[in-house]
A and B are shown apart, each in its own frame.
Chain A
Amino acid sequence: MANITILFVDDEEKVLKSLQRGLMDEPYNLLFATSGKEALEKLEKNEVHVIVTDMRMPEMSGLELLRIVKEKYPKIVRLVLSGYTQVTTLLTAINQGEIFKFITKPWRLEEEFKSILQQAVDYYNLRNERDELLKELAQHQRNTAAAGNK
């Protein structure tokens, strides 16, 4: 299994730093971006498996970022970490961004956050495995069909 890379996006640097130190012992590569723009740049250069973004950020909102991510990198598991808990914000995030989990600030690092990340990673892996298996199955079917044709 390849190394898992998680990208965190938040306009508040101290949030990113607390995540960095909180997750230092977790088996992930951690990437950080303070804006949507920076996040997209990081996505260009790195293979990212999970993205966790804040909602309300200047210039590009978390929702806009997630829409782009969904379109350009559909495999990436999308999560939100936000202090906004208004129903409308939640609904738009879930419905338009098709997110895996919505984590609210303040988050509980040990009891909640780490396990959600783990779930996201598992989800990524499972989906990946499923895709691999499907591919294999398709290959197998093609092979069988080819053999049948002989």
Chain B
Amino acid sequence: MDFDFTEEQRLLKESVDRFISDRYDFEQRKTFAKSEAGYSSDNWKQFADLGLLAIPFAEEHGGFGGGPIETMIVMEAFGRGLVLEPYFATVILGGGLLRHGASDAQKSEFIPKIASGDMRLAFAHGERQSRYDLADVETRAKKSGSGYVLEGEKSLVLNGDSADALVVSARLSGGQRDRSGIGLFLIDANAKGVSPRGYPTQDGLRAAEISLAAVEVPSDRVIGEDALPIIERVVDEAIAALAAEAVGAMTEMHALTVEYLKTRKQFGVTIGSFQALQHRAVDMFVALEQARSMAMFATMTSAADDPEVRRRAISAAKVQVGRSAKIVGQGAIQLHGGVGMTMELKVGHYFKRASMIDVLFGDADHHLAKLAEAGSLAA
């Protein structure tokens, strides 16, 4: 039992942390956000050069053979920097689906492109009616010659408007909420019949509604034909990654708040001398550390092969992180007072990102209900 990083992990952390502190301050971020894609393609190249886009993939496919811990290191730093680039959509979601679902030939073809920054992915899975139910898929895939034709509407596709390719889920058989019969297909974003409608999200990132009208998919672009277990596995990994990102954002929110308490003066003294505010800052600190503990727990359990063990750990982490994010985020705004309400200060942007993370892939209450249904968390 230990919480140490290996030498390689330490070096990775240093280099990501350096990137964030040198090239991702609040003013720079504003410029990145103004570009059409909503992020900087220059940064994306840097990620490729630093090897970040290759981290979780096997070496035989051009990856670095990293695991959940490496992902945690990157995502926590990205949480601190409020990174806009589609790392989560491309490497964690899209890349995860390829890692767990794709054939060797597919991996050899696509993963080097992801690693070099030439293939940005998005996961087109959610639909208007599906909410947090991963099995709820209406989009249809019909056999056509040796390939398939996709027909349906996908919703809330993270970075769906700037991706080069989409991993689309579509039903091959069964009813709308059946667990079996969901296929995964890799399509070009500009394939015929694909119409994305992009829009900004509350946290300064972007998403898209995507219409699929008679989109043809050749047979060598089928990632999986009964793919719900793959989707669930990738979403579990994604939640662990988001937990780390949320911890990064919370760490900064808390640090900014404590700093503000030490400098802001009212009644002739720094407001951090008031016990009511000290105790709220401590409540935030406790919530942050509990979330950090659970993000680590999720990270170290997310690679477990037993889906039941994995799912419970992930749900527990999502519950803790969602609850902590409220305590830390709401506390950060409250203790900053009026200026915490302004777009001018970074703290509000962290609050918004942390709040959006809670509603991705099931909020705290959703996962609490899942956990309650599953039975005991205790090993």
Question: Is this pair of chains taken from one and the same complex?
Answer: no
**Which residues of A are interface residues toward B (Cβ below 8 A)?**
none
**Which residues of B are interface residues toward A (Cβ below 8 A)?**
none
